[in-house]
Structure formats: C-alpha cells, structure tokens
Structure 1
C-alpha cells in the first residue's frame, strides 16, 4: 500500500511493515499492528520525527529500524531504535529483511553525503530509499523513485532497466505537480517483461 511519496506498507502475510513515514505522506498516523517501522535515511520526507512517537505508541510491538545517520536524531529525542547497515539481514514478525545500499545519491557536491539503507523484504519487495544501487538479483517488486533533487527522469529509467523487475511501482513523487508524465515515461521505456503499475494512494493491492 502506497501512502504517498516514499511511504509504503508491505504486508508479507506474517508481518505488516511500514517504510519511511515522512512529511510528504499521510495515512500512516492511524496504522496499528505493525511489526516494524523501517527508515531509509534521515531526510524529513522519509521520517517525520514529530509524528513518530505517537505512531510508536500505537504500535508498541513494532521495531524501529534505521540507518546510522537517522540514529543520531533519535538518540537526541530518547526514541528507542535499532541501527542496521548494508549487508545485515534480520527478521521482524516472521519476515526476512535484507539491508542494501549504503550512501544517499549525490544531491550536489557541496552538500555533505549521508547514509541510506535500502530494504529488501522477504526477497521480494525492494525499497531502495534515495539511491539507485543495482541489486545483485532481481526483486519481484521494485519501488521506483520517480522524482527528487538528486535524480532526473533518465536516471530512473536506466535504473528500472538495470533492475528489470517483473513489477515496478513508482514512489517518491511528491515533488511533482503532476507525476503522470513520469509514470508514462516509465511505462513506455520499461524493459521487456516489466509492468509499471501505479498504486492508488492508501489502497492495498496484490502484486
């Protein structure tokens, strides 16, 4: 389920996992029954620190998993969390999560780089965060960043072609007034065998 921008809920059957509850997303504030909340990196469009305590309060059994950079912000607020880095694999609620990536894509050389975790859930769904790290194997579903200060459309298309998943679901679209142009571009230029499907906001769907 896509809740806008980079925020998605992945339901594996054994666990409901929320990824990137940020400021440009909505609908996650009332979620319950989460096994984990995964944060790819520290930017506000991926983590709304003001709303996080209430979300954790509604999901007392949820493990908050973050990258090293986000951990610094959480320590300042005394919010319990677990730090994970690329190369690690862990389990939440019976689901297997692999951490991939490492660095946020370059926005500009004058802006310091930060850490970025991509999350691969049950070997099926890949959320790359804000980076175009090509995985060593092909996911069933790729959550494809659409637009951001760090990317241009041709880079997103090249990443889509490099990963070549059976299904790609565009995300990270909130900076666009009308993302349909990008979505059409992805559909027209997707590699053979890849379906590009737009996930209606807040509506569950099965790949």
Structure 2
C-alpha cells in the first residue's frame, strides 16, 4: 500500500488493487490532475475537506470513480452523483474493502456551532482516515493512522491521547494547514507516541509505502 499526501486532509491511498482519494478540499493541491481513481471519499462537508469546483473537475477526469460521502454533504453537491454512507456500512471500491467508522458526528468546535455529520474510513482493515473526529476504531491492531494535527476543534494533548488510544504501528500527521509550524506538533507526537508506533511525515506529493 502506498500513500501520497496532498496537504491538509487530502490523501491518495493506492492499495495495489484500488486508488482511493480522500478529502480533496480547499487547503490541498496537486490532486487535480489525478486519473485512474476508483473512488473519491469525503469525510464531511467542510470546505477544507471538499472543494466542489475542484471535485467536479476531478470526477470528469475519472468518470468511473465512485463518490462516497455522508448524506449532509451529498445534499450540498448539487448535480453530482454520490454514494451515501454512514458508520456501520461496508463497501467494496475497486479491489479495496472500506468500513465506515466513527460516531457519525464531527468533533465539537463550540457548543454554539451545530455538529455536522462525519465519516471515518477504514481501508482493508489497515489504514484509518478518521475525518474530523477522534473516535478509536475499536481494533486490536491498526497499521496506519492518519492523525488530524491542527484545527479549531482540537489541541495537541487530545491528539496525543487519541494516538495513544489507537496505538497504530505507524502514524501519519494530516490536517496541518491551520498551523503556522506543523513541525512543532510533529515533535510532540514523536516524543509522546506510544511504544511501537513509528512517526512518518511524508514529503508533500511524494508516495511512501505504508
């Protein structure tokens, strides 16, 4: 399995049997010219996770790719065919098996801001993109966790606690574009990660094996 980070929450996962792109949003770039995709998966409706104009361009270049998202996001994507899923669903995309996980809700930003739907996606039981929520997947072992690093809804202690709760073999920080110095947070993860967890920070747009 190979992973390419296009900044913030946007990640291409190539399992060898399927090419899956997650969260092509406004804070990410470099994904627009991708082709050969089996699916585009959106965790939730916020603009940093889905840019509708870029998404339409991407889907025109990938006419056979499924678009997978939650129901609230689907309602906002007028004129785009979507496959709507929620936690508990399982689906096959190309040659990959996807389990939709999480509580179904975005982490709280503030009590006065309504919660929106959020899907986490577990690929082949080995790689987790949680979207914007820290809900452990309930697995005895996880190979790769994509870890949200900076956002209005989180602080670094919560990120570390989530990392320790999941205790993956490998952690890849994502969702970093709100930070002036993401490397400072990466150092916290490196210093406070659980025993047996490797920190991997890929160069942007450079595939790495996971």
| Structure 2 unmatched ranges of 5 or more | none
Q: 1:119-150: per-residue Cα shift (whole Å, max 9, x none)?
A: 00011110000000011103200000000000
Q: Are 1:162 and 2:162 counterparts?
A: no
Q: Pairwise mapping of residues 17-96 of structure 1 onto structure 2 (< 5 A)?
A: 17-74=20-77, 77-96=78-97
Q: 1:29-84: per-residue Cα shift (whole Å, max 9, x none)?
A: 0000000000000000000011111100000110000011101101xx21111100
SS at match of 1:69: helix
**Residue among 187, 190, 205 paired with 1:187:** 190
SS at match of 1:180: helix
CA RMSD of aligned residues (A): 0.6
SS at match of 2:176: coil
The runs of at least 4 consecutive aligned structure 1 residues that moved more than 3 Å come to none
How many residues are treated as equivalent by the alignment? 205
SS at match of 2:75: helix
**Residue among 121, 129, 132 paired with 1:130:** 132
Cα distance between partner residues in 1 of 2:195 and 2:57: 44
Cα distance between partner residues in 2 of 1:68 and 1:200: 33
SS at match of 1:10: strand
| Structure 1 unmatched ranges of 5 or more | none
Counterpart in the other structure of 2:204 = 201
Cα distance between partner residues in 2 of 1:170 and 1:51: 23
Cα distance between partner residues in 2 of 1:26 and 1:183: 21
Cα distance between partner residues in 1 of 2:39 and 2:180: 31
What is the deviation of 1:199? Answer: 1.2
TM-score by structure 1 length?
Answer: 0.98
SS at match of 1:108: coil
What is the deviation of 1:183? Answer: 0.2
